[in-house]
Each structure stands twice: as structure tokens, then as C-alpha cells.
Chains A and B, each alone.
Chain A
Amino acid sequence: MVAMRQPARSTAHLPLEVPAEWREGLESNVLAPLARTSWRYFAWIGFLAVVIAWAVVMYVHQLQTGLVVTGMRDRISWGLYIISFVFFIGISHAGTLLSAILRVVKARWQLPVTRMAEFITVVALMVGGLFPLIDLGRPDRILNMIWYGRWQSPLVWDFLAITTYLTGSAIYLYLPLIPDFALCRDRLGPTAPAWKRGFFNLAAAGWTGSAVQRRALDRAMTIMMIVIIPVAVSVHTVVSWIFAMTLREPFNSTVFGAYFVAGAIFSGVAAIIILMAVLRRVLHLEEYITINQFKALGFFLLAMSLVMVYFNASEYIVTGYKMEAGAPFHFHDLLVGYLGPYFWFYLVGGLVVPALIITFPRTRTIKGIVFAAVLVLIAMWIERYLIVVGGFRVPLMPYTARHYGPSLTEWSMLAGAFALFALIISVFAKIFPMVSVWEVVEHRGPEPGEEVLEFPSFGSTDAQAPEVAS
């Protein structure tokens, strides 16, 4: 990334040399949602609660009847649940990984969005981790995973990798939150209700901002950001291995681990862009999250789309050239058959169009970049659908290939998962500052219109234009 070449400001320049009013403004803007709540917020929470309740009702019905209420059957034995599992775990990737890599290289443009990125990781992991449980035929026996767990099983690897990643991401989210909790304690504490005051007190962990504490925090964050990178990579690799460890033709591939990691980062960056746009609007953070952040992430998205093109080419050209048994069926499905429309939407709408939107300066606006991110997110969900359903459809024996269509129960569960995702983010936005105030103050200073990044501008001079509004 170009951002890596930017000289970072020293982290030790204390006391702060930012104007007092700017800092005041930032603090009160970021903390405002934590102090006030409008009726619209409750209406939104109520709506999400209804969707989740509906999913719970459908799940209870599934528990009572069995998985026959889904569209899955013996020959396509995994469906929308596992697709959504892979999708959510994918989304979780960009957050921590991105923020850790950028912190390691001391880039500073991303500081206002690291908090959101880390939130996405934790919440997506919590939601995505539910899907394998929803998918179980006997969830009542889940403890067998502990009593009889076997190291040889890819599912056990998943279980371990995801719990490790969740723990690590939660710690990594919490560490930079400590000074902000202290800020909440000091600024909001006196007027907040008792429970909130108690919570801020506890969460701030006695932070005073002394030099010793700062050094300790700095060291802890450095360790976590280095540890979290290999953990994140390993998580999506083992997620891909629940497929790649089988003998089925489209799954039987050594590139799957890397392919899934790239896809995970790709969809995760798209998710961050979307969440960033939403929170920016809802929490009135326009001053701190500007076109700069969108452009930077947009370029990252562009780079990842090229990586995805590369992986698709290596996967499909290598298997398509040899046309082993099963491959002709699979290619027919993807190119002109049952899955054709989805496959072409994925290739064109998910890889080419977003890349073009970001490449041309005319469309490289906040709206354009968010639109590209939405396309990518939809396409990446479809990509997982193609992998799972397309893979299971290839007949293993002389039988007629089966069709799969998710049932109402499965769609309800997916809707419930998105609602849960939004609910957790909404609730967290009320308890945690969504922008890392102290880091922004320390590293960035009051230059909201400043062009932090120098990108090649493809024949236009918009690089200096301070576009703030979308």
C-alpha cells in the first residue's frame, strides 16, 4: 500500500499539541451518542429484536422437526448455514488484520476507523460462530466436541482457531479502548446513571495516562498486533480446509487456503467501508472520517479485487485445462448452467465493476466507493454459495445431480444473523466510543481536510480536492 510509505508521527510527542477547541469538539462529538439516545434508536432496536425473535422461532421449529425444514439433503449436505458461516468469518478478517497491519507499519490515515474495523471483527466472529451450531443435527450433544474432540478433524481446528481469534480480537479491541473509557469516565461519569458510571470506572481499569501506563499499553498493543496477524491468516485457512480436506473435485485444491484468506480480506474491507459510511452518517462523524479514509480503503479493495482475479484465474484455468472427471460438470454449472447467472454476477459485478468504479476518479466518490463495497459484499456471499453448492452438486456416483434452494427457515436464520450483527453494533455504539479518540488526537491532529495519501490519480487532479461531504 502507498500508505506504508507515509512517515508516521512519533508516538511519544506528549503533551498534546492540538488546539484545545478541536479536541473538545472531537471528544464531545464522539461521546455524544453515548450520552443521549433518541426514540429512533429504540425503534431501530425494536425492529432488529423482532427479526431476531422470528429467527429464534424458526430455529425452535427446526429443533423440533429436524433439519428437514432446510433445503439441504444427503447430496447437498451443507447449504446456506455453512455458506453464511464462511461469509461472516470472512468479514471478520479485515477488521483486526487491517488495523494490525496498518498499526505495524505506522500508517495514520486509518486511525479514525480502526475502532470500527476491530468491532466488525469481534461481532462478525460472534455471529458467524453461531452458524455451525445452527447447522448441527444434534446441538444438544455439542459438548461431545470437548469430551471426545479429535485433533485430526478440520472442524476441531476451526473451533480452536475461531475461539483463539475471538479472544485475541477482543483483547486487541479492548486495549486501545482503555484510555477512551477513562475519557468517558471523566467526561460522562458525573452525569451518567450509576450503572454506566460503574461500567466506565471498571472498564477504564484505573487509567490515569501516566507515562508508566502509556508504556505498558504501548507494549501490550505491539505484542497483540503482531500475534493477531498469523492467527487471522490461520483462521480462514482452516475454514477453507473443511472443504479442501475432502476428495470432491472442486474442493480438492491446494490453493483453497490462500484463496479463502484473500476472499476474506476482500469482503472484510468492503464490510468496513459500508459500516464506516453508516456510522459516519448516524453518529455525525463527517469531520473525522473523510473521503481520505474511503479512498484509502477503496484502493485496498481495488488491490484485493486484483488478487481475487488472480486466484480465480489460477483455480479455474488449471482445473479447466485438465478437465478431470467432475470438472466438465462443474464448469457447465458455472458457465452456462444452474449456477451461471450467479457466477457471472460474481465475476463481473463483484470483481470487475467495483475495480472500475474505484479506478476512475469520476466515480471515486464516497457514494461510488460505498456502492462498490456493497457489490463486493453481495458478490462474496454469492462466491461462497458457488463454492459450497457448486462443489456438492458434482455427482460422485452415477446419479442425477440434486438442486438446492434455501428454505424459509434458512433465509430467516440469515436475516436473524444480520439483525444480530446490527443489534450488537448498535448496542456497542452506545457503550463504546466508535472512534479511538486518544489515538486520533495523538497521531493525527486537527487536519480533517488534509490529503494524507498520495495516490496515482489516473488523469485527474482530484487528489487535493478536500471532499468532505458525500
Chain B
Amino acid sequence: MNSAELDPDDSNTGPPGTVPALARGVQRRRILRMAGSALFAVPPLAFGARAWLSRAPASPLEAMARMSSAQAANGRLRRWSMVIDLRSCDGCQRVGKPPQCTAACIEGHFAPQPMEWIQVYEQELPGNGTRFVPATCQQCQNPPCTNVCPVGATFSTPEGPVLIDQERCIGCRICMAACPYDRRFFNWATPPQPVEALGMKYEVEHQAPAIRGTVMKCDFCPDMARAGTLPYCAQGCPNNAIYYGDLEEDVATNGKAVIQISRFLSQNSAFRLNEEYGTEPRVYYIPGAGEAVGRDSSKRGRLATVWPWKKVASGSRTWSR
């Protein structure tokens, strides 16, 4: 087993312009997904979230609809949270593709190569197996990264997500030194970006276009949640391993099932990454190695992520992590 297979993306430095067919496929999928998002977004407009106050959500649609405002039903703020069920994550071995959560996040956010805002690490297990651990920014509630920022360019929001203002960031990278989860990415040059990204108006909750010399990371998609849709990564997972929801309402969904977060966590012995750091992440994991989708934990390796972006921005360059 060589190291490249353990961490496929370290070796993936190929030029992005070499996959036009794939890029077209991605474009088409994005359009479909946007249409899907619009569907998700309709119910809150039509019915209003408060109509569901008195009963538990029965469907994911309903659950997302109930979460589609910055305020929970009891009038308090949302506390966005994620539960990743490792029993259902097989690193997309079953579908024979690179991890689809990563791919979906990349195409949704135009994430520059080589950034995997959600990265599927392969971790050794006792014995001779491995498990796959998809890691977003852990959205720490005691975030070491925001503490050290000299200009307040990265900050905690009341709803929980830790965001970065790339228009204020001075690129000192002390936050990258401080993040103990390897979840921050620097724009070492102007990365290749699609035309759509270049034309977008920059928002802290949707960091496009990427700005050279600044730091980026997973933003936890609070804008998507408020609009009543799941984050791209949760939508992209073919095994529905990623639940997203609101701790305040104690409800989350993976697009298929609805869970009561507190019960789900305690009944399935949930854990958080490196609890000993005291970072208080908002991302929970249910232990497992893909067994729920039929993975044998001794089957190692996953495909390397590819970035569909061709060189668009002038003078753009890619780099490796």
C-alpha cells in the first residue's frame, strides 16, 4: 500500500484543463442541482415555517422547511450542526467515483484546486482495516483559528459557522498554524476558476471568486440552510451519510431520513474529532467503516478528487497541498 493511495489527493496535481468531458458533466449536474435547490426552497415560501411548530417533521422536505429561517421556532438562533455517519461512508468505493461529497462541494462553491473543503481521509483502524472520515471544517465553538487572527477576518457567527472574510484577510496564515484539523486552505496564486465564479459578487457565506493571497475553507453553507436546502456535500453523498440540521430544534436530515439529533448521537455513541483539544466542534461522527453500505473495512483506497476548472483567470496557476 503506497502513500499515494492512502491520501490520493496529495499526488493529484494534474492540470485541470485535461478533463473537458467531465467538466461538461459537472456543468449539467450543477444545473440539475440548482433546480433541486429551488424545489427545496419553495415550501417555506408557500407555507411558512411556523405552520409545523406543533408537530415533529415527517419528511426531509418538511424538516428543511422548518429550518429555513435564521430563527428557530422558539425564537432563538439556529445552531447549525452536522452528523456524519461513518457506517454509511465507503469513500465512494461502491459507486466507483471520487468522493461525491467533495465533488459536490467543489462544483457548488467553485472551490479551487487543490482545496477539498470536505476531505475524505482514510484512517487506519486497529487490526488491518481502514475507515473513511469525511472532514469539513469542524466549526469549532472554541475555535483556535479565530482567536489568533490579527484583523478579525475569520470569526464565529451566532449561528455557529466559522467564516472568513477574504476581503479583509491579510494572508498572514497564523490561522492555518492554529487550526488543528488541517482544514484551512490558502490561495497561493490566482487559481483557475470557472466564468460563473469570476462573475459572482463576493459574499462571506459564498466565497467566490477566490482571492489570491487569502485563506478559504468550508463555510458550512448557512446560506443554503436558510434557503431551505441541504449543503452541497450532504446532497452529493450517494449513501446519505451526511446529516445536517439545527441543534436548537434538535432535528437534522440527510435528504432521506429525519433524525432527532440528541437521541441519534447518544444512541449511536457519537464522537467528535480530537475532543481533547477542547475545540468543541459542531460536527459529530457516528463510528463505523462503511459497513451499512456493504464495505469490507480491509478494502483500502479511494479515487483522487478532480477539479473540473479550466484555466480561466489570466495568469492562474494550480499547486499541491
CB nearest neighbor in B for A251: B177
- Residues of chain B with a CB closer than 8 A to A224's CB: none
Question: Closest approach, in angstroms, between the C-beta of B9 and any C-beta of chain A?
Answer: 9
Given contacts A66-B187, A67-B213, A398-B124, contact A75 B150 (CB under 8 A): no
Report yes or no: B180 in contact with A74, Cβ–Cβ below 8 A: no
Instruction: Of the listed stretches B36-44, B95-103, B141-149, name the one at the interface; the rest are far from the partner chain.
Output: B141-149
Q: Which residues of B contact A243 (CB under 8 A)?
A: 177
* Complex contact A396–B321 (CB within 8 A): no
Whether A153 lies near B315 (C-beta < 8 A) is no
Known contacts being A136-B171, A137-B169, is A66 close to B188, with CB within 8 Å?
yes
Residue B47 is within 8 A (CB to CB) of chain A in the complex: no
Interface digits, A70-99 against B, CB 8 Å rule (1 contact, 0 not)?
001111011000000000000000000000
Q: Does B168 contact A (CB under 8 A)?
A: yes
Q: Report yes or no: A145 in contact with B10, Cβ–Cβ below 8 A.
A: no
B58 sits at the interface (CB 8 A): no
Q: Are A154 and B121 in contact (CB under 8 A)?
A: no
Is A153 in contact with B174, judged by CB distance below 8 angstroms? yes
Write the nearest CB–CB distance from B184 to chain A, whole angstroms.
7
CB distance A247 to B188 under 8 Å? no
Q: Tell me whether B168 and A141 are in contact (CB under 8 A).
A: yes
Number of A-B contacts (CB under 8 A): 152
| A66-B190, A137-B171 known; A398 vs B121 contact (CB < 8 Å) | yes
Q: Which of B7, B151, B185, B317 contacts A399 (CB 8 A)?
A: B7
Does B319 have its Cβ within 8 Å of any Cβ on chain A? Answer: yes
Q: Which of A75, A137, A396 has the most CB of B within 10 A?
A: A137
Report the minimal beta-carbon distance from A31 to chain B, rounded to whole angstroms: 45
Interface residues of A in 288-325 (CB under 8 A from B): none
Closest CB in chain A relative to B264 CB, distance in Å? 25
Question: A396 touching B184 by the CB < 8 A rule?
Answer: no
Q: How many A residues, CB 8 Å from partner?
A: 45
Q: Does A149 contact B (CB under 8 A)?
A: yes
Q: Which residue of B lies closest to A247 (CB)?
A: B180
* B residues 145-188 touching A (CB-CB < 8 Å): 147-153, 168-174, 176-178, 180-182, 184-188
Does B212 make an interface contact (CB < 8 A)? yes
Residues of chain B within 8 A of A153, CB atoms compared = 147-151, 174
- Complex: chain A residue closest to B135, CB-CB: A397
Min Cβ gap B287→A in Å is 15
The closest CB in chain A to the CB of B174 belongs to A155
Contact assessment for B151 and A144 in the assembled complex, using a CB-CB cutoff below 8 Å: yes
**Cα of A51 to Cα of B124 in the assembled complex, Å:** 50
Complex CA distance for A151 and B86, rounded to whole angstroms: 40
A246:B170 contact, CB within 8 angstroms: no
Of chain A, the residue at the smallest CB distance from B2 is A400
Chain A residues with CB under 8 Å of B315's CB are 65
Is B135 touching A138 in the complex (CB atoms < 8 A)? no
Q: Which residues of A contact B3 (CB under 8 A)?
A: 400
A135's contact among B172, B176, B215, by CB below 8 Å, is which? B172
A367 touches B (CB below 8 Å): no
Task: Specify the chain B residue showing the minimal Cβ separation from A151.
Answer: B150
Once A152-B147, A398-B124, A399-B7 are accepted as A-B contacts, the answer to whether A141 and B170 lie under 8 Å apart by CB is yes
B169 near A156 (CB under 8 angstroms)?
no
Q: Given the complex of chains A and B, what is the CA–CA distance between A156 and B147 in angstroms?
A: 12
Chain B residues, CB < 8 A from A156: 150
Do the beta carbons of A77 and B178 come within 8 Å of each other?
no
Q: How far is the CA of A125 from the CA of B155 in the complex (A)?
A: 31
For residue B177, which residues in chain A have a CB less than 8 angstroms away from its CB?
Answer: 77-78, 242-243, 246, 248, 251, 392
* Interface pair A155/B150, CB less than 8 Å apart: yes
**Cross-chain contact A68 with B150 (CB below 8 angstroms):** no
Please name all residues of chain B whose beta carbon is closer than 8 Å to the beta carbon of A137 when the two chains form the complex.
169-173, 186-187, 212-215
Q: Is A132 an interface residue (CB 8 A)?
A: yes
B298 interface hit (Cβ, 8 Å): no
Measured between alpha carbons, how far is A137 from B7 in the docked complex, in Å?
27
Are A145 and B188 in contact, with the CB atoms below 8 A?
no
Please measure, in the bound complex, the distance between the C-alpha atom of A153 and the C-alpha atom of B153, giving whole angstroms. 12
Please report the C-alpha to C-alpha distance between residue A398 and residue B319 in the assembled complex, in whole angstroms.
20
Alpha-carbon separation in the docked complex, A135 to B186 (Å): 13
Do A74 and B184 touch across chains, with their CB atoms under 8 A apart?
A: yes
Contact: A67 with B188, CB < 8 Å? Answer: yes
| Contact of A77 with B150 in the complex, beta carbons under 8 Å | no
Asked whether, in the complex, the Cβ of B180 is within 8 Å of the Cβ of A396, the reply is yes
When distances are taken between beta carbons in the complex, the residues of chain B under 8 Å from A154 are 148, 174
Q: A245 at the A/B interface (Cβ < 8 Å)?
A: yes
B92 to chain A, nearest CB (A): 17
Chain B residues whose CB sits within 8 angstroms of the CB of A396 once the complex forms? 180-182
B268 contact set on A, CB distance < 8 A: none
* Nearest CB in chain A to that of B186: its residue: A74
Q: How far is the CA of A399 from the CA of B169 in the complex (A)?
A: 27
CA distance A152 to B133 in the complex (A): 33
User: Is B59 positioned at the interface, with any CB of A under 8 Å from its CB?
Assistant: no
Interface residues of B in 81-134 (CB under 8 A from A): 119, 121-124, 133
The answer to whether B172 and A66 touch across the interface, beta carbons within 8 angstroms, is no
Judge whether B172 and A155 touch: CB under 8 Å.
yes
Render B264-284 as a binary contact track against A, CB cut-off 8 A, 1 for contact: 000000000000010100000
Quick check: B182 and A397 within 8 Å, CB to CB?
A: yes
Q: Is A9 an interface residue, CB under 8 A from the partner?
A: no
User: Which chain B residue shows the least CB distance to A63?
Assistant: B213
Chain B residues near A39 (CB-CB < 8 A) = none
Q: Which 8 A-B pairs have the closest CB atoms?
A: A137-B171, A137-B213, A66-B189, A68-B189, A68-B188, A153-B150, A155-B150, A247-B180
Q: What would 11 more interface pairs be, CB under 8 Å, given A396-B180, A400-B6?
A: A66-B188, A72-B188, A74-B321, A137-B171, A138-B171, A242-B174, A246-B177, A247-B277, A398-B6, A398-B121, A399-B182
Q: List 28 A-B contacts (CB under 8 A).
A: A65-B315, A66-B187, A66-B189, A67-B188, A68-B319, A74-B184, A74-B185, A74-B186, A75-B321, A77-B177, A135-B173, A137-B170, A138-B213, A144-B151, A144-B153, A148-B168, A154-B148, A155-B150, A155-B172, A156-B150, A242-B174, A246-B144, A248-B177, A251-B177, A392-B177, A396-B181, A398-B121, A398-B122
- List the interface of chain B (C-beta within 8 A of A): 3-4, 6-7, 10, 119, 121-124, 133, 135, 144, 147-153, 168-174, 176-178, 180-182, 184-190, 212-215, 277, 279, 315, 317, 319-321
